[in-house]
Structures are given as C-alpha cells and as structure tokens.
Amino acid sequence: TDWRDWPYFPGDASVEAPDGYFRILGRVDDVINVAGHRLGTKEIESACLLVPEVAEAAVVPVADEVKGKVPDIYVSLKPGYESVDGEVERKVSDAISNSIGKIAKPKHVYVVTDMPKTRSGKIMRRVLSAISNGKDVGDVTTLANPDIVEEVRKLVQN
C-alpha cells in the first residue's frame, strides 16, 4: 500500500500564506460552537489574561439548552490577589465581552486556587469540562495535584 496518497489529519488548522509558507492557526478541536458562532478557546483565554489579577485561564464548553454550548471559565489569580464580591469574575466576563463580543460571554467564571494539571504543568481541560457538565472526571491519578479536583468540584456545585 502506498501511504503517500492518504490524507493525514493531525488536528491542527493551517493556512498557506501568499509567500508559500504555512501558518499554523491552532487546534481545530479548541473551538466552542455558541449559537452557530465558532469561538476559539485560546482567544477567550487570552481575553481572560487581560485582567491584571489573572495568572491562568482555562475555557471549557458546557451544554446550554438555547445556545448548544457556552463557555465556562476557570481562572487562578496571581499571588497576593483575591476576588472580593465577585469583582474578578465581573472583570473577566467584561474583558471577554469587550475583546470578543457578547456572544462569548461565559455562563460562569470560577476563581480557583489552582487548576488540575499534568506533571508537566499542562491544564487538564477534560477534567474541568467534566466538572462543568456534571460528569465523571475519570482517572485523575496522573495529575500533579489530584486533590484540587474535589476542591474545584465543590466550588462549581455551590
């Protein structure tokens, strides 16, 4: 069998620029379809990071009866900052609305002490997505900080 004619799809989007080079646009599975609008999770996360108090941000899709999916936002704050009376949550929501548009406004913004991460430091968005959607998080034994999962779950359920 000659494999050269088979399509290969790595899950990344790219575009060929006029200069002949390919520009990598990002992962195609990092998109949330909100009421027919395709929103990139990286763009939403970047908007969250415009808020000076925010150290890290993670965006996950959550089911919505009207829009299909909507973003849920998880943010951890820089040392020395805390959210008082939902101030940071409002700033994050406003930053998203102003940067991307009202269609990207999150259903919830959760301020967490830490994110569930792999040992190499990558945020485990599948765990956050499972929590937001009320599903089983699956195996979390490989996380660098498995105790944070229960802390985040309690925050979301309250």
Per-residue pLDDT of the chain (158 residues; tens, 9 = 90+): 566 676 766 777 777 888 888 877 666 668 899 999 999 999 999 999 999 999 999 999 999 999 999 999 999 999 999 999 999 999 999 999 999 999 999 999 999 999 999 999 999 999 999 999 999 999 999 999 999 999 999 999 98
pLDDT at 2: 65
pLDDT at 15: 77
What are residue 71's DSSP bridge partners? 61
CA-CA distance, 120 to 116, in Å (whole number)? Answer: 11
- Find the helix or strand (DSSP H, E) in which 7 lies: none
Q: Rounded to 5 degrees, what are φ and ψ at 76?
A: -115, 150
pTM greater than 0.75 = yes
Q: Report the DSSP pairing between strands 37-40 and 31-34.
A: antiparallel
Q: How far is CA 14 from the centre of its chain?
A: 21
Is residue 44 within 8 Å of residue 100, measured between CB atoms?
yes
CA-CA distance, 129 to 125, in Å (whole number)? Answer: 6
Q: Say how many C-beta atoms besides its own lie within 10 A of residue 80's C-beta.
A: 6
b/e map of 146-158 (b: 16 or more CB within 10 Å)?
eebbeebbeebee
What class does CATH assign to 3-157? alpha beta
